[in-house]
Structure 1
Amino acid sequence: MMDAPWIAALSAVFVWWFSTGVILLVVRLADRLGGAAHLWATLAGLPLLAVGGGLVAVSLGSHTVGGVYLSFLGALAIWGWIELAFLTGAVTGPVREGCPAGLTGWARFQRAFGTVAWHELALVLGLLALVLASKGSVNRIAQATYLVLFLARICAKLNLYFGVPRINTEFVPLRLAHLKSYFTRGPVTLAFPVAITALTALLSVCAERLLTTEVPATATGYALLTALAALAILEHWLMVLPLPDAKLWRWMLPRTKPVAESETHGF
């Protein structure tokens, strides 16, 4: 039954929702505890990175439905740890202050990139590692999964920087409060249709491969990728449409720490 494409698609949606919620929960708890809690949360998550690498390694030579699921979960585990390290403030960038008033153009872009530079480097290194590991293997779903997530994240960050009507800052951690000064709330820019076009093209390719293959493992892999691409498109439309997406995770998170820590970042 696990080789049914609709099961794979639903599994991808559930894992995306659940893993996002767990990471947000860990970061929110670290915010409440303060002190070295963010560092310890990042270090405690290192087994996730190791497990992800292990799952990818054992699945590279297995072009089966089970191998595809292991590869997919391995890529998500690697991605998840890098995101955890970013949200805890452990791996961000050399710039940790808000955007100075009046800063525009290339200078603003450089400073904004400086807030996430080490995170971007970590993401690129993760991608490079998966590309090299997957070279010549029969199961490259881990590489493909990571690529979809990577493309979606870059598009989302650019849209938050250049401007979108709706920006949910509810889940921005205390240690990343300065990032909010680099977001632009306003009309969509060229970055939005470019992102939607690119992600829709990706979705179309994955869906076409899903509908035309007769190999169960291949169908499972493309069902997982199609679901991820659809979620990426939804994520971007939620920057425009006034839908209560925060409710997906708000109920499972403790309240933010009732202190004015964000004031240290100019907010």
Structure 2
Amino acid sequence: MKKLVKKLFTISFIGLLSLGLAACSNTPDNTTSDKASSIVDKDTWVIGLDDTFAPLGFRDIDGNLTGYDVDLATAMCKKLGKEVTLQPIDWSMKEAELSAGNIDLIWNGYTITPERKEKVDFSLPYLDNKQIVVVLADSSIQSKADLAGKKIGAQSESSAVTAMEKETELYKSFDGGKATTYEDNNQALMDLDIGRIDAVVADEVVIRYYISLKGSDKYRILDEDFGAEEYGVGFRKGDTSAVEAFNEAYNDLKEDGTLTAISEKWFGSDVSK
């Protein structure tokens, strides 16, 4: 009798366990179905951006979001028949925000890199950029080699940090063995102004815009840089329909002169690709 009871208990337990596993296996289908669909089917695209990244995306004196990327995103969504919602995000969490479905696009000076291609799908490149080094005008730093032993600032989780890390020996020679990172470039540049750090490595478009506001006589850009790069728009991995629709609309805007007009507004010349 004991053996029979034990056998019946075992069969019942296995049956319940199987039902539990079956229920668990069905859960992902219910929770990920929305994420699996393309944003081409959405009426509104939520664009994640860094609202301190002038002149690409930032707030004007009235607190409104503006900039080259903001104007470009607005024109693009209009072309595609989409409403646009601009969503400021913590830039260090951009890929996580995209993956979680909190935003539909990463669009704000988002550098195309092999590492990021593993996490997102990119649009075609729309703007060229370089990671440049800026110091105060009277600084003793004349070359990248002079950065050894100095405090070098950069935005956290930015392509500037990635670019510097590739030059391993130089990067480790910085004061502290690495760059001093900040939530945004503005904080880094302000610390440069007051002498807390010796140099800032950041996107050329950001540095040159900052210098134009503060005065060119106060700063100096080194002849050497940490490499050229391209900006793209990040989509959720696998959303090829959205990428293709975006690229086609981008080329249309290029042909009809919209890109040239936006570029000349912010940079004084046509720098679009």
TM-score range, shorter chain: under 0.3
TM-score (norm 1): 0.26
TM-score, normalising length: structure 2: 0.26
